[in-house]
């Protein structure tokens, strides 16, 4: 059995295999917690096209929860996808919520819907038992 030897071409750039994914309509999920911001871009079926977090973009420690980190994360996630229209689902109480939404609005993508999908308890957890002194 003869094994094929694969050789890399020297004139080809390293990132040429990372082409922009073209989708006409997609959903941008932004999860903004107090410590991190996670951005996931999916198509209409829900299949993940691009996913970035503030930690993956180079922010460490307390800087991951800042609005600037959220802005950078959203910018990187949107640049990997070529999209005309999008829905935005924002979840969580973090500081990066508004910065992420502003960045998406400035990117040139037409927003069809912006929804807040933060889970809200209707009755909450059972409170602790009453203190006896």
CA dihedral 7, 12, 14, 17 (to 10 degrees): -90
Answer yes or no: is 96 within a domain.
yes
> 10 Å Cβ neighbour count for 34?
12
The mean per-residue pLDDT over the stretch 49-71 comes to: 93
Report the phi/psi class of residue 14: left, alpha or beta, with left for phi > 0 and alpha for psi in -120 to 50.
alpha
Answer yes or no: is 31 within a domain.
yes
Answer yes or no: is 67 within a domain.
yes
Q: pLDDT digits over 88-122, tens only?
A: 999 999 999 999 999 999 999 999 999 999 999 89
CATH code assigned at 95: 3.30.420.80
Within its chain, how far is the Cα of 125 from the centroid? Answer: 29
The average confidence (pLDDT) of the chain is 87
Percentage of residues in the chain having pLDDT higher than 70: 86
For the chain, what is the domain count?
1
Are 104 and 88 in contact by the 8 Å Cβ rule? The answer is yes
Percentage of residues in the chain having pLDDT higher than 90: 73
Could you give the CA distance from residue 119 to residue 90 in angstroms, rounded to a whole number? Answer: 11
Answer yes or no: is 57 within a domain.
yes
pLDDT at residue 2 in the model: 65
Answer yes or no: is 95 within a domain.
yes
Answer yes or no: is 13 within a domain.
no
Sign of CA dihedral 31, 67, 70, 81: positive
Answer yes or no: is 129 within a domain.
no
Domain span including residue 43: 27-116
What does each C-alpha distance from 72 to 47, 75, 100 come to in angstroms?
Answer: 23, 5, 9
């Amino acid at each position: 059995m003869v094994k094929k030897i694969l050789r890399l071409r020297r004139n080809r750039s390293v990132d040429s295999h990372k082409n922009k994914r073209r989708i006409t309509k997609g959903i941008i999920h932004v999860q903004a917690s107090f410590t991190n911001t996670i951005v996931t871009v999916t198509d209409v079926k829900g299949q993940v096209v691009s996913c970035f977090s503030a930690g993956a973009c180079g922010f460490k420690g307390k800087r991951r929860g800042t609005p600037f980190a959220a802005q950078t994360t959203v910018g990187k996630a949107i640049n990997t996808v070529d999209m005309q229209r999008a829905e935005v689902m924002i979840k969580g109480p973090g500081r990066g919520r508004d910065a992420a939404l502003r960045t998406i609005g400035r990117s040139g993508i037409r927003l069809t819907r912006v929804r807040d999908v933060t889970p809200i308890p209707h009755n909450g957890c059972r409170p602790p038992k009453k203190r006896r002194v």
